[in-house]
A and B are shown apart, each in its own frame.
Chain A
Amino acid sequence: DQQVKQNSPSLSVQEGRISILNCDYTNSMFDYFLWYKKYPAEGPTFLISISSIKDKNEDGRFTVFLNKSAKHLSLHIVPSQPGDSAVYFCAASYNNNDMRFGAGTRLTVKP
Chain B
Amino acid sequence: DAGVIQSPRHEVTEMGQEVTLRCKPISGHNSLFWYRQTMMRGLELLIYFNNNVPIDDSGMPEDRFSAKMPNASFSTLKIQPSEPRDSAVYFCASRPVGYSNQPQHFGDGTRLSIL
List A residues at the B interface (Cβ < 8 Å): 6, 32, 34, 36, 41-46, 49, 51, 89, 96, 98-104
Q: Which of A32, A51, A101 contacts B43 (CB 8 A)?
A: A101
Task: Give A33's nearest chain B residue, CB to CB.
Answer: B101
- Determine, out of B68-76, B78-86, B102-110, the stretch whose residues face the partner at the interface: B102-110
List B residues at the A interface (Cβ < 8 Å): 4, 33, 35, 41-45, 48, 55-56, 91, 93, 99-109
The answer to whether B43 touches A49 (Cβ under 8 A) is no
The answer to whether A46 touches B101 (Cβ under 8 A) is no
Chain A nearest CB, measured from B25 CB (Å):
13
Task: Give B102's nearest chain A residue, CB to CB.
Answer: A96
Chain B nearest CB, measured from A89 CB (Å):
6
Task: Give B104's nearest chain A residue, CB to CB.
Answer: A99
Q: Which of A6, A36, A46, A103 contacts B41 (CB 8 A)?
A: A103
Most interface-central of A36, A49, A99, A100 (chain B CB within 10 A)? A99
